[in-house]
Structure 1
Amino acid sequence: MTAPTGAVPPGSPIRRVGVVGAGVMGAGIAAQVANAGIPVVLLDIVAGGAARAVQAMLRAEPAPFMHRGAARLVTAGDLGGDLALLAGCDWIIEAIIEQPEAKRALYAQLDAVRKPGSILSSNTSTIPLAALVEGRGDSFAMDFLITHFFNPPRYMRLLEMVRGPATRAEAVAAISEFADRSLGKTVIPCKDRPGFIANRIGGLWMQSAINRAIDLGLTVEEADALMSRPIGVPKTGVFGLLDLVGIDLMPHVAASMKATLPGTDPYVQGLREHAVILKMIAEGRTGRKAKGGFYTRVKGADGESLKRALDLTTGEYRESETPRLESLSLRDLRAQATHPDRGGRYLRAVLLDLLGYAASLVPEIADSVADVDAAMRLGYNWKYGPFELIDRLGAAWLARALAEDGRPVPPLLARLGEGSFYRVEAGVLEYFGTDGDYHPVPRPAGVLLLADVKRRGQPLARNGSASLWDIGDGVACLEFHSKMNAIDPDTLAMLGKSVAMGKQGAFKALVIHTEGEQFSVGANIGLALFAANIAAWGEIESMVEGGQKAMRALRAAPFPVVGAPSGMALGGGCEVLLHCAAVQAHAETYIGLVEAGVGLIPGWGGCTTMLRRWAENPRAPKGPMPPVAKAFEMISTAQVAKSAFEAKEMLLLRQTDGITFNHDRLLADAKARALAMIEGHVPPETRPLRLPGASGRAALRLAVEQQAALGRVTPHDRVVCDTLAETLTGGRRDHTEETPEAEVLALERKGFMALLRTPATLARVEHMLETGRPLRN
């Protein structure tokens, strides 16, 4: 697998990277560098530790490597005998134990072998930069900074950067550019203060959420429900998050913050030891990595996995309960935080702790509220940063609530008065600065965000599920915005309208992109289930035919259409991409034809396109059967590529399709690709396929029967596989005849409709909608 185009920014001095420390963080950082196609040296203090770390990462889930070939770019060695390997590195990252003495001793070794001008950084999250460079020379200090990655380094987009007073501007610029474009990070400049931004605020939030839950007598389920959806935090909440990261880390973080912060800091003042948590740690109940934490699972009498939750009073597990607080039924954050039940009192107390603290820390930890909000969104996966949360509550309300509680009102909050931390002025998003004026939220050069485009004007066209936007230079962007971007008749109608408008000269190229978490989870199966339940078969067949028509129009557009996906592109979402002239994918794009999981087959040209791609693959064996076998294997098992690189290996993306690491640069990269394709663009020809017919179908059936004999195929899997086999092999056509594409599309429609009429498929669809998991019936 080749590296992505532009993996190293043009003119970048970073061509080879070294990482010292092969623990979870160090190894993960090395893997992400290799993912970008950059050679990396990974050394560990323990003999053989780096090599073992690489092998462990190849087996790990979620995978640190985006594709197995990336591991070949990692050179593993031992600090004792392989230190010289770092001599050729342009950037050396230290990721060893959080002890200043150990780090400084390592720096002396690194300074003796590193080449002049190479950059050295620490991945520390707790030690001040001044303490790290203590005793080192001026030349070392000029080349040194802190680069704090978040775990896991592949998936977390935040990189906190701290420069010292002597750090060269060129070093900061080189690492910022490389981390942005090659590693996909949003680089946030931080002040050299304990915990920097994200862990300083996030640590206070977790500490407050635990203290207040215990004080107010909340269950862990109630606390997590209030500390998730209402404030835009992932569904783990706080106790679930601690289970995920490890409960035993809490005392270490607390000790570090206590040692480095003044005793008057609210973080230090709120530090408390809870007997129930100390007991959990002593008994090894430290979370998911051990034998349970605040939550655990046990097997019931019938073998079913049952969830248990910790009683914070007794320290014993009980059956997990669904929270019934009235405050949770409300949808307005301020209404929830002022509700008189214990949930409302809890939410108010934690929000006052969190938001009052965050407002007091600017400009101590960062120069702007925009940087703080970005750090919390990207480092903790929050939907809203603390200042965005303040705007949701009302800054004046928060100031009054703090005063009513006898707490100090932070100067920045008092200065804001009745205003808000963010506003839109003349279509530009602005933030309130420490100088009392509003300033545009900065965007790095080359970043184009659809959110900014939408603030500046109205769509070219819109309906309930999709909108068409002018993104400049004669390029339009089609955005899906239904729930999970599921594709419904409105989506298909807007696809058709976009192609028609392009033909009429409204734009010269089209990008299909959304800034939601998912590109598209596929067709709206809930709508299909409803229609099936009322026997509206004609409506369903019209939607299938409409989807095929929209995809064919997309493929035959006389102008370039570029798909720009990130997140999940499944089922119908995958089929949209398969019919684009090109794709510029975010590296974290998960693509697959997953219809078999709900008892169906692809009905919008997915079967047809995969047959064609495998038939045209120069590395595939020749003849009609190999393409059919590959497509059958992928579709029948609902395989999903776990990265854009894997999607290329599976031919869900072409080798010529592009990969962008930084999500914020995806739309700009896709637009540039579309512009470059305008001149001389010609839609692909539609040629017939040569399929194996009845003999191929018999071979596929035999393979399925063999798997069934091994217990790997369920009864309804056999029905789905048989329908898929008939479609992929060409139905009644003989292997000596060519099969027109229209016939394969007709077989797709026929097979889709036949399967949807079966009770077993309807059961699968209903189960998926209710649980989010496939039913094995």
Structure 2
Amino acid sequence: MKGINKVAVIGAGVMGAGIAAQIANAGVPVLLFDRPVESSEDKEGRNQIAKDAIGKLIKSNPAALMSKGNAKRITPANTEDDLGLLSDCDWIVEAIIEDVTIKQTLYKKIDKFRKKGAVFSSNTSTLCREQLVAGLPESFRRDFLITHFFNPPRYMRLLELVSGPEVSEEQCKLIERFCDHSLGKGVVHCRDTPGFLANRIGIFWLQCAVVEAMKQNISIELADAVIGRPFGIPKTGVFALLDMVGLDLMPHVLSSMSESLPPDDPFHEIYQEPELIKTLIADGYTGRKGKGGFYRLRPDSSDKIKEAIDLNTGDYAKAERPVVAVVKKAGRKNPRKVLEDDSTAGRYAWSVMSKTLAYAASLVPDVSDDIEAIDEAMRLGYNWKYGPFELLDQIGAEWFCAKLRSEKIEVPSVLRNVGTGKFYRKSKGAREVFGPEGQYLKRYPNAGVLRLDDIKARSKPVMRNPSASLWDLDDDVLCLEFHSKMNSLNLWTLSMMDRAREKIETSEYKALVVYNDGSNFSVGANIGLMSVAARLWAYPFIDYMVRRGQETYKALKFAPFPVVSAPSGMALGGACELLLHSDAVQAHAETYTGLVEVGVGIIPGWGGCKEMMCRWSLASDTPRGPMPAVSKVFELIGLAQVAKSAEEARDMKIIRADDRITMNRDRVLADAKERALELVSGYHAPTAAEIALPGESGKVALDLAVEGFRKSGKATPHDVVVSAALSTVLSGGDTDMTGKVSEDRLLQLEREAFHTLCRHPDTIERVHHMLKTGKPLRN
């Protein structure tokens, strides 16, 4: 099968530039086109719109580029002078205004220059493929798809793919594979219907939530609180999400949906354009990109006081954080308790979620006969933790249908057909999904996808304790899974690491993969234990935990089998130290890692200082002499720098040059297992390193730099204390720069520094503050 080696994106707006950035993140060169600047006479000036877009990508926050250097892969161009450059592009993506006439004019212009067989796709979110290709040549229609990205393209995982009867399976597979493997997208095949899948349901849900809140006189704070946690919906809820998306976009999307949906679609029953929203938009209240929206920061205050709008009066008042009793009782996995509740919150939740879930069910089978695809679209496109049918399984389809009937609401056929059953079930160790014909179909993951959930469905853990489990991945590979709160590390976790090592050393197992399905690999050691120990003056317990962590990580590093860590999301503090002690890292591209301990007044104590010093001292690209490595590691740890991507982690040497990065989250575990098996053949444990460090002279230089920061107000008094302890460790203590420092000596220095810092009252204050507020204290 041919590949995608070069891409062109037409349209350098927010979406087009974001798509170009993600393609560059994948390591593929991309041309970014926009209209020429007609007033400019030189070539560079005519490309200024695209050049400005690339400049914004470099400065964007959240970052569109996984490394600023990726911008070099994006070449600015314009649609008058540079169309000849399309001749060697394998894929051309159009991301311009949602107007059929303008799009088709562009298509005809570009078709003269694209190479034969190059895929052409539109990023449209509101127009159907049939409209876009009407009247165009057969040769163009054969290569035309819709590839609907969600904004921002780097972070939103959904890609909706719409094909047509003329398009070959090969063309579809080409784009699907590239978007899956290289761009990290969850590709959902959609029929050519208005809004496709995610927006068809998501826009209905948002509109319904707004209309019902106005009808029932519900505050937006209460609405966001109740349409959130119990349903697995992000804490933004509805109104904060609309502020994020942009209020000015909604009228266009709603109008388009109203025009394109069939007359009997339930959307028409809730479609309206409230005067309040029109007024907000006219006054510049377009959401976060404007002066605010449903929420805003008080304009006459420097204290960043958050205000919420009253949907009836349009007046702003200080935003409240309502404590909703039924939400508190329901927790995260009991949505039915909320829907049953006869309170203001419960009635509002039912009015929104009953309509939304019934609407999603009504789309089967006409819009889609794939229940799993609908759930996937809402999970990846709207960040719902559970799709509509997964929610219905939690609620109980039979109960839901009965309540709909009691309110004389029509029950969709798929709900009637599932009856007392569930949409997803386990049968003989396999997961099954309710099919369009009323039968259950086995769920088969895509090739190269391995999910821990599927392993759990067919087997029991090899070992388990309250914080971690061991799972058999087959092929003699074990998987260590964390499952404490936020996957924090504690003595139970360390115990399971030791047991995993002992199990592999004494059995037929050959390798260990450290992985979990959580949104975060691990937030690091549980500092709550440190807080409790400090209150009880149980400092020997802290000393024991530090030594135990060092011994466990050291034993894993020098074990006679390969250890591959496979992080995604946050891997901070002690979790970052685990990556540093692993033989290899198979990181998801969206891995955020770093040694952040100084934020709570301590330093890395499980070998993080030691491993970073060895990495930087022995690296071929580090300038010679002991100080360059010491200075760099002092900066990384002392400033608690966190890599914002796996690529940045590689620049920080937390991830080695030969470690691998997986773009698609669903493929991380399979890739990590494959990497572990590669390492098994001829595996030899690493040898302990010895490095040259500057000793007292190096420490003096570092301490003088910190003192300068203190005098200028950039370092607090306790920053100076923590930095002094860190400089002692990194400079090698009382060593002579002509000698070598062993790994064990560095571990000893870490323990001594940790021992002193954890007893300091300012450290204890930092720990308490972090646990209470989630933010570091500058004391």
TM-score, normalization: structure 1?
Answer: 0.97
Contact 2:92/2:120 (<8 A) preserved: yes
Map of 1:68 onto structure 2: 68
**Cα distance in 1 between the residues matched to 2:417 and 2:689:** 68
Structure 1 residue 564 displacement after superposition: 0.5
1:14 match: 4
Q: Is the 8 A contact 2:120 2:143 kept in 1?
A: yes
Report the 3-state secondary structure (helix = DSSP H, G, I; strand = E; otherwise coil) of the residue aligned with 1:305.
coil
Quick one: distance in 2 between partners of 1:774 and 1:427? 46
Match of 2:656 in 1: 654
Distance in 2 between residues matched to 1:97 and 1:517, nearest whole Å: 34
Q: SS where residue 568 of structure 1 aligns?
A: strand
Indicate the residue corresponding to 1:258 in structure 2. Answer: 258
Is it true that 1:400 corresponds to 2:390 in the alignment?
Answer: no
Cα deviations by residue, 1:277-329 (Å, 9 ceiling, x for unpaired): 2221111111111111111123887x532221111121111111121333222
1:98-109 aligned at under 5 Å gives the runs: 98-109=98-109
Quote the residue 1:323 is aligned against. Answer: 322
Matches within 5 A, 1:523-562: 523-562=525-564
Report the more deviating stretch, 85-94 or 277-286: 277-286
Residue 319 (structure 2) pairs with residue 307 (structure 1): no
Q: Is the 8 A contact 2:225 2:324 kept in 1?
A: no
Tell whether the 8 Å contact from 1:263 to 1:269 is kept in structure 2 after alignment: no
Give the Cα separation in 2 of the matches to 1:760 and 1:209.
Answer: 47
**Structure 1 residues 496, 300: closer, same or farther in 2, change over 3 A?**
farther
Residue 715 of structure 2 corresponds to residue 730 of structure 1: no
Aligned to 2:174, what secondary structure does the other structure show? Answer: helix
Q: SS of the counterpart of 1:639?
A: coil
Does the Cα contact within 8 Å between 1:191 and 1:364 map onto a contact in 2?
Answer: no
Correspondence 1:37-56 to 2 at 5 A: 37-47=27-37, 48-56=48-56
What residue in structure 2 maps to residue 243 of structure 1? 243
Aligned-pair identity in percent equals 51
How do 1:502-651 residues align onto structure 2 when only pairs under 5 Å count? 502-651=504-653
In 1, the alpha carbon distance for the partners of 2:304 and 2:101 equals 47
CA-CA distance at 1:157 after TM superposition:
0.8
Instruction: Tell me by how many angstroms 1:76 deviates.
Output: 0.9
Q: Contact between 1:562 and 1:584, CA under 8 Å: does it hold in 2?
A: yes
Which residue does the alignment assign to 2:41? none
| 1:297 is the counterpart of 2:287 | no
User: Which letter does structure 1 place at the counterpart of 2:664?
Assistant: N
Does residue 501 of the first structure (1) align with residue 500 of the second (2)?
A: no
Q: Which 4+ runs in 1 deviate beyond 4 A? A: none
Shift of 1:211: 1.0
Task: Check if 1:208 corresponds to 2:188.
Answer: no
**In 2, Cα distance between the equivalents of 1:329 and 1:588?**
31
Please give the root-mean-square deviation of Cα atoms over the aligned residues, in Å: 1.1
CA-CA distance at 1:570 after TM superposition: 0.3
Q: 2:43 corresponds to which residue?
A: none
Structure 1, residues 245-271: CA drift from partner, whole Å, max 9, x if none?
101111001110011012221112211
C-alpha deviation, 1:759, in angstroms: 1.7
Partner of 1:87: 87
SS state of the match for residue 113, structure 1? coil
Aligned partners of 1:606, 1:324: CA distance in 2, in Å?
41
**What is the alpha-carbon distance in structure 1 between the residues aligned to residue 754 and residue 23 of structure 2?**
43
Shift of 1:687: 2.4
Q: Select which of 663, 667, 674 maps to 1:665.
A: 667
Report the alpha carbon displacement of residue 46 of structure 1 after superposing the two structures with TM: 4.5
The question of whether the paired residues in 2 share the 8 Å contact of 1:45 and 1:80 is answered with yes
Counterpart of 1:328, as a letter, is V
Query: Following the alignment from structure 1 to structure 2, what is the Cα–Cα distance between the partners of residues 478 and 401?
Result: 43
Counterpart of 2:393, as a letter, is D
Q: Hey, what does 1:386 align to over in structure 2?
A: 388
Shift of 1:275: 2.3
* Aligned residue identity for 2:247: I
- Partners of 1:638 and 1:588 in 2: CA distance: 18
Distance in 1, Cα, partners of 2:36 & 2:575? 46
Aligned partners of 1:204 and 1:267 also within 8 Å: yes
In the alignment, the residues of structure 2 paired with residue 348 and residue 619 of structure 1 have an alpha-carbon distance, to the nearest angstrom, of 61
Deviation at 1:744, TM superposition (A): 1.1
Work out the number of aligned pairs and report it: 766
Q: In the aligned structure 2, how far is the partner of 1:526 from the partner of 1:304? A: 30
Q: How many Å apart are 1:57 and its aligned residue?
A: 0.4
| TM-score where L is the length of structure 2 | 0.97
Q: 3-state DSSP class of the match of 2:420?
A: coil
For the structure 1 residues 465 and 506, does the alpha-carbon distance in structure 2 shift closer, same or farther, using more than 3 Å as the test? Answer: farther
Q: Which residue of 2 aligns with 1:442?
A: 444
In 1, Cα distance between equivalents of 2:770 and 2:193: 47
Distance 1:563 1:633 in 2: 25
SS in 1 for 2:305: strand
1:81-480 aligned at under 5 Å gives the runs: 81-298=81-298, 303-331=302-330, 332-480=334-482
Offset, 1:160: 0.3
2:229/2:327 contact within 8 Å kept: no
Is residue 12–residue 178 contact of structure 1 (8 Å, CA) maintained in 2?
A: no
Amino acid at match of 2:206: M
Question: What is the aligned partner in structure 2 of residue 679 from structure 1?
Answer: 681
1:762 Cα deviation from its structure 2 partner: 1.4
CA apart distance, 1:733: 1.9
Are the counterparts in 1 of residues 513 and 673 from structure 2 also a CA contact under 8 Å?
yes
- Contact kept, 8 Å, 2:240 with 2:294, in 1: the verdict is yes
Q: Distance in 1 between matches of 2:754 and 2:102?
A: 63
d(CA) in 2 for partners of 1:754, 1:51? 53
Deviates more, 1:485-494 or 1:261-270: 261-270
Structure 2 contact 614–689 (Cα < 8 Å) conserved:
no
Moved more, 674-683 or 497-506: 497-506
Larger deviation: 248-257 or 327-336? Answer: 327-336
2:21 matches 1:31: yes
Q: Aligned partners of 1:619, 1:325: CA distance in 2, in Å?
A: 56
Paired residue secondary structure (1:511): strand
State which drifts further: 709-718 or 110-119: 709-718
Distance change (3 Å), C-alpha of 1:235 and 1:553: same
The code of the aligned residue for 1:147 comes to T
Once residues 451 and 484 of structure 1 are traced to their aligned partners in structure 2, the CA distance between those partners, rounded to angstroms, is 18
CA-CA distance at 1:688 after TM superposition: 2.2
CA contact (8 A) 1:257 1:268 kept: no
Report the secondary structure of 2:431's partner residue: strand
CA distance, structure 2, for counterparts of residue 149 and residue 230 of structure 1? 28
Partner letter of residue 728 of structure 1? L
Q: Note the residue ranges of structure 1 that are not aligned, 5 or more in a row.
A: 1-10
Give per-residue Cα distances to partners, 1:439-458, cap 9 Å, x unaligned.
Answer: 12231111111110111111
- Tell me if structure 2 keeps the 8 A contact 1:226–1:343: yes
Paired AA for residue 727 in structure 2: A
Match of 2:44?
A: none
How much has 1:506 moved relative to structure 2?
Answer: 4.2
Alignment counterpart, residue 698 of structure 2, candidates 675, 696, 699: 696
Q: Is the 8 A contact 1:300 1:306 kept in 2?
A: no
Q: Could you tell me how far apart the structure 2 residues matched to 1:454 and 1:154 are? A: 30
Per-residue CA deviations over 1:313-366 (Å, capped at 9, x if unaligned) read: 211111111213332222132121111111000111111110100000012222
Report the alpha carbon displacement of residue 398 of structure 1 after superposing the two structures with TM: 1.2
421-430 or 705-714: bigger deviation: 705-714
Q: Deviations over 1:20-51 (max 9, x none)?
A: 00111111111111111111111012532111
- Give the whole-Å Cα distance in 2 for the aligned partners of 1:324 and 1:728: 48
SS of 1:330 mapped into structure 2: helix
Moved more, 680-689 or 221-230: 680-689
Tell me how far 1:52 sits from its aligned partner: 0.7
* Cα deviation code 1:506-562 (max 9, x no counterpart): 410110001100001000001111111111111111110000011001100100100
Q: For residue 776 of structure 1, what is the amino acid of its counterpart?
A: R
